[in-house]
Amino acid sequence: MLRRALADAHMTEAGVAARLGVDPKTVHRWVAGRLPYPRHRTRIASLVGRDEADLWPQLTLTNAQAETPVIEILATYPHRWAVPRPVWQQLFNSARDEIGILAYAGLFLAEDTGIMRALADRARDGVSVRILLGNPDGACVAERGSDEGVGESMAAKIRNALVHYRALQDVDGVEIRLHDTVLYNSIYRADHDLLINPHAYGIAASHAPVLHLRRAGDGDMASTYLESFERVWSSAALLP
């Protein structure tokens, strides 16, 4: 919410840092989800012309509500192509424990040298990187190609993506598997933050919406998608 408010107010993280007299890294952490101190929240809300409750909805929870898991939807995008590249870059760079990618091809990431470098760097820093891609010879990929009206192009796209992803195989901490499942959603995870790309029949994933979620506790929305990821992972085969 804060990221969107800054964009609407045509303000940068550096500009906010200068106005508040704080380190730009501190503002970056706020944008990434850390709750600012009350004195900073008041000034930020004034700068962007929003109520604090709009920027940090968790502040409005009553004690009774706080006893149940909070579902945090940080942002929504009408299409995957509408997600700014810095959002993808920040997602993966922010990981400290785990990165997970579940897609059929994920070619848009594989062709991004900066993101591929980020995945390798995070793995070298001890982050577990798990990548799940569709089996190009699988029945589910063939069905998805037919549903989207692209036929064999879907399998060809995966084979193209695999050429790029194979470069990560030699990096310790990276594991790549192939799955043959009906993919209801593509999932891109960095620790407790997820970008979810729900699929719609006959629509390419790049044109489907994206939700930015943050896991707040067991049983919340993000946890449901994380469980789905683990189910696919457990049935997938190692990339030959």
First to last CA, the chain: 42
User: Which pLDDT score is estimated for 59?
Assistant: 67
The ranges of the chain annotated as CATH 1.10.260 are: 2-66
Residue 127, SS3?
Answer: coil
Domain 72-238 has CATH 3.30.870.10: yes
β partners of residue 237: 178
pTM over 0.75? The answer is: no
User: Which pLDDT score is estimated for 58?
Assistant: 62
User: Which pLDDT score is estimated for 26?
Assistant: 87
Can you list the positions of beta strands (E) in the chain? Answer: 72-77, 98-102, 128-134, 174-179, 185-190, 193-198, 210-214, 237-238
- Return the closest-CA partner of residue 58 out of 74, 44, 76: 74
User: Which pLDDT score is estimated for 89?
Assistant: 92
Assign domain 2-66 to a CATH class. mainly alpha
pLDDT at 69 over 50: no
Confidence label for 68 from pLDDT (cuts 50, 70 and 90):
very low
pLDDT at 23 over 70: yes
User: Which pLDDT score is estimated for 185?
Assistant: 94
Interval 83-112 mean pLDDT: 93
Tell me the C-alpha to C-alpha distance, in Å, between residue 21 and each of 9, 14, 30.
19, 10, 14
The ranges of the chain annotated as CATH 3.30.870.10 are: 72-238
Interval 189-201 mean pLDDT: 93
